[in-house]
Structure 1
Amino acid sequence: MAFQIGAKPDSGFDDPIGMLKDCHRRIESFLHILCVVVDRAQGRSLTDEERVAVQAALQYFRTGGQRHTADEEQSLFPRLRKSDAQVFEEIDRLENDHREANDLHGSVERSYSAWIQSGELGPEETRQLFSKTSRLKQLYSDHIHVEETTVFARATQVLDRNALTAIGTEFRFRRK
């Protein structure tokens, strides 16, 4: 079975909400791959295809996940806090999710890296890695649900097109 990531839709930098949603889809895809790999590879070493898929997922989280967090916490969340008192609690929760996901990602990354290097994963390590990966997947799923149903919806209601375009421009400049 080949691991495939769907093509990234190009939402453009003038659509920061679309760009963040695109990022959510990639995060979900990579987390799915990690869960499938650890579930499928119990008691054996990784195949070359699985190793490449795991390394790609870990690399995305290391770079894309960090940029995603920075985009939200440095651009979108501050503007939304100034414009809409109704989302303070949700934004606080999302920022806490970012911290928990970052910590959990570090633990997951170390475990997968050790597996890649050693070539083997015992039953207890497999269980722990699957548990951590599943927790990370559930955390992101809940996080994405809150963002897309509450925060992003409010952002498109309370921020005008110029503010959204400015946020998208900030995302673009931070990526260079």
Structure 2
Amino acid sequence: MSSNGKGAYEQELAAIYRDSPLFRNLRDTPKLEGKCGLWAQIAAKWATITSAGRNEEKAMAIQIGAKPDRGFDDPIGMLKDCHRRIESFLGILCVAVNRAQGRSLTDEERNAVQAALQYFRTGGQRHTADEEESLFPRLRKSDAKAFEEIDRLEHDHREANDLHGSVERLYSIWIESGGLGSTETQELLSETARLKKLYSDHIQVEETVVFTRASQVLDSRAIFAIGTEFRFRRK
């Protein structure tokens, strides 16, 4: 990428972090507890930055829809909304290491990475609980055919958790020391790429197979109970 393109990218990062009240709110973590809508807005805001493909010379925009979140009366829809946030915050973790390797993170990059890591510690973990504690047990009881897919999805959750631990460790080293060695950089590139592939496959199975089946076999009482449990986790 040209020096002009790099400068424009850094100016865009600075403008987003400096001018957005959404990112100012990130400095007050208690305000974010249970605020799914705020996370969605932050994800959509960050989706306006540009990333350069490793084999492409011009930047391409990351496009993320910013429609309002579904409510507790539609827990399956809430899980889909969470997937869009996962994709957006994971995009930050992938873009940052691709763009900043070999140097220190800028203030804007560091704060964006920390926001993404915080999301996966809170919203990401809650999403896993929503599925494994509320949706999957009821789906197993209602549809024996769901067992194979659910077993795979739960395995994906465990693998993703391990990868997130590695990614957070490496980004923490980078942030605290001001740099990341070539070996650690290659490890972070590999781990974020693995996470991206894992989530892509995982989300496709959930949204095209498991969520569709859940909508077909779970009755209104089960859906209401799931939504109630989602609400309780967000208090």
Q: Which residue type is aligned with residue 110 of structure 2?
A: R
Residue 100 of structure 1 pairs with residue 138 of structure 2: no
Tell me which amino acid in the other structure corresponds to 2:188: L
| Unaligned segments of structure 1, at least 5 residues | none
The reply on whether 1:5 has 2:43 as its aligned counterpart is yes
| Aligned position for 1:149 | 208
How many Å apart are 1:142 and its aligned residue? 0.9
Q: Secondary structure at the match of 2:43?
A: coil
SS at structure 2 position matched to 1:99:
helix
Q: In 2, Cα distance between the equivalents of 1:119 and 1:112?
A: 10
Distance in 2 (alpha carbons) for counterparts of 1:87 and 1:75: 15
Instruction: Give the corresponding residue for 1:39.
Output: 98
Aligned match of 1:89 = 148
- C-alpha displacement of 1:8: 6.5
Structure-2 separation of matches of 1:64 and 1:89: 26
| Range 154-163 or range 89-98, more displaced | 154-163
User: Which residue identity does 2:149 align to in structure 1?
Assistant: E
Pairing partner for 1:126 from 178, 185, 199 = 185
- The residue type equivalent to 2:43 in the other structure is I
Distance (whole Å) between structure 1 residues aligned to residue 68 and residue 214 of structure 2: 21
SS of residue paired to 1:9: coil
Which structure shows the higher helix fraction?
1
Counterparts of 2:227 and 2:148 in 1: how far apart (Å)? 24
Match of 1:137 among 196, 203, 215: 196
C-alpha change, 1:89 and 1:134, in structure 2 (3 Å) is same
Q: Give SS of 1:5's match.
A: helix
**Cα separation, 2, equivalents of 1:60 and 1:174:** 15
CA contact 1:8–1:22 (8 Å) conserved in 2: no
Unaligned ranges ≥5, structure 2: 1-8, 17-41, 45-65
Q: Deviations over 1:60-109 (max 9, x none)?
A: 00011110111101110000000011110000000000111011101110
Distance 1:52 1:8, change over 3 A: farther
TM-score by length of 1: 0.96
> Closer, same or farther in 2 for the Cα pair 1:8/1:62, shift >3 Å?
farther
Partner of residue 19 from structure 1, selected from 71, 74, 78: 78
Q: 1:28 aligns with which of 84, 87, 101?
A: 87
Residue 163 of structure 2 aligns with an amino acid whose one-letter code is: L
Residue 226 of structure 2 is aligned to residue 158 of structure 1:
no
Normalising by structure 2, report the TM-score. 0.72
* CA–CA distance in structure 2, aligned partners of residues 129 and 110 of structure 1: 9
Deviates more, 1:136-145 or 1:46-55: 136-145
Separation in 2, partners of 1:63, 1:5: 15
Kindly indicate whether structure 1 or structure 2 has the higher relative contact order, using CA contacts under 8 Å at least 6 residues apart.
1
- How far apart, in 1, do the equivalents of 2:220 and 2:203 lie? 23
Q: 1:117: which partner in 2? A: 176
Residue number in structure 2 paired with 1:49: 108
Output the CA distance in 2 between the equivalents of 1:136 and 1:9: 26
In 1, the alpha carbon distance for the partners of 2:149 and 2:68 equals 27
Equivalent pairs: percent with the same residue? Answer: 80
